[in-house]
Amino acid sequence: MNFFPKKSLGQNFLLNKKIIKEIVKVGNITNKDIVIEIGPGTGNLTEEIVKKKPYKFFAIEKDENLFLKLKQKFIKDIHLINEDILKIDWNNFSNKKLLVFGNLPYNISAKLLIDWIRLNNLNILFSKFILMFQKEVAERVVAKVNTKQYGRLTILTNWKMNAQKIFDIDPDNFYPKPKVKSSLVIFEPKDDFFNFNNSKNLEKVTDIFFQNKRKMIKKPLNILFKNPERVIKKFGLDINSRPQNIDPLTFFKISKEYELENN
């Protein structure tokens, strides 16, 4: 390759053609779709997406050098944007649902996921997200209750999205080779989700519960509620259980109770 990948921008380019094709296939792109790729890099996925002839195709790349190269290569096919993905105002980006692809730096994927979950109209703005994560993070996103991986990220994701891990990808398939394994996850926004006046209440409640996930739930309940006994009774909670034993729906209900008590 005739340039030096930038570590600061988490540049690990996916080189395995077979895997690239499989990722694009997961998106099921039709000629009606508005696709957006974030962090296209050298255009590996980009090229395969173009072949599927989406109705419209945006790509957002922060690295100016890569942006200029992509511009030469895909001049007719893509609306390229040289911007930091974290600065995009999704409410004003498109008036049709977006299908998102992203093999981004892992810290950025996780941050974006939370930003998206906070959007009130997530299901209006997006149809699907196909994103790469560090394997351990992907496992936390899709974890089942009563497992070690189950936690805040699982509950917040479950609130707004159906998420599924598709496959794992070995470091050997990237250049330069990342230190960790990766996993591809597909997310579909839910049309029906538990209603909060402010998502901060769910964030706060799960934050307090999972600050010490090995401890029993009595302590977070004491912190959050004036009368924890009433909440325990109302939701039939077992005070000997730990945060990892409480399913997402129960967390939503506890958070709603917290919201009602604090407004």
Q: Which residues bind ligand SAH (CB under 6 A)?
A: 9-14, 38-42, 44-45, 60-63, 66, 84-86, 103-105, 108
Minimum CB distance to ligand SAH smaller for 132 or for 141: 132
- Give the tokens for residue 197: 């006046």
Identify residue 213 by its one-letter amino acid code: K
Question: Residue 126 Cβ, how far from ligand SAH at the closest point, in Å?
Answer: 17
Residue identified by tokens 């072949």 is 51
Distances (CA, A) of 62 to 20, 81, 104, 180: 21, 8, 11, 23
Terminal Cα-to-Cα distance of the chain (whole angstroms): 57
Question: Residue 57 Cβ, how far from ligand SAH at the closest point, in Å?
Answer: 14
Contact 86, 111 (CB under 8 A): yes
- Give the tokens for residue 191: 């049309």
- Give the tokens for residue 164: 């599924």
Distances (CA, A) of 136 to 90, 110, 195: 28, 12, 29
By residue count, the chain amounts to: 263
Minimum CB distance to ligand SAH smaller for 85 or for 231: 85
Cα within 13 Å of Cα(32), Cβ side: 4
Distances (CA, A) of 22 to 48, 62, 228, 261: 10, 25, 49, 48
Minimum CB distance to ligand SAH smaller for 10 or for 225: 10
Question: Residue 122 Cβ, how far from ligand SAH at the closest point, in Å?
Answer: 20
Minimum CB distance to ligand SAH smaller for 17 or for 230: 17
Sign of CA dihedral 31, 101, 116, 91: negative
Question: Residue 168 Cβ, how far from ligand SAH at the closest point, in Å?
Answer: 15
Question: Residue 184 Cβ, how far from ligand SAH at the closest point, in Å?
Answer: 11
Minimum CB distance to ligand SAH smaller for 150 or for 174: 174
Question: Residue 175 Cβ, how far from ligand SAH at the closest point, in Å?
Answer: 9
Minimum CB distance to ligand SAH smaller for 85 or for 221: 85
Question: Residue 117 Cβ, how far from ligand SAH at the closest point, in Å?
Answer: 18
Minimum CB distance to ligand SAH smaller for 165 or for 253: 165
CB atoms near residue 177 (< 10 Å):
10
Contact 183, 135 (CB under 8 A): yes
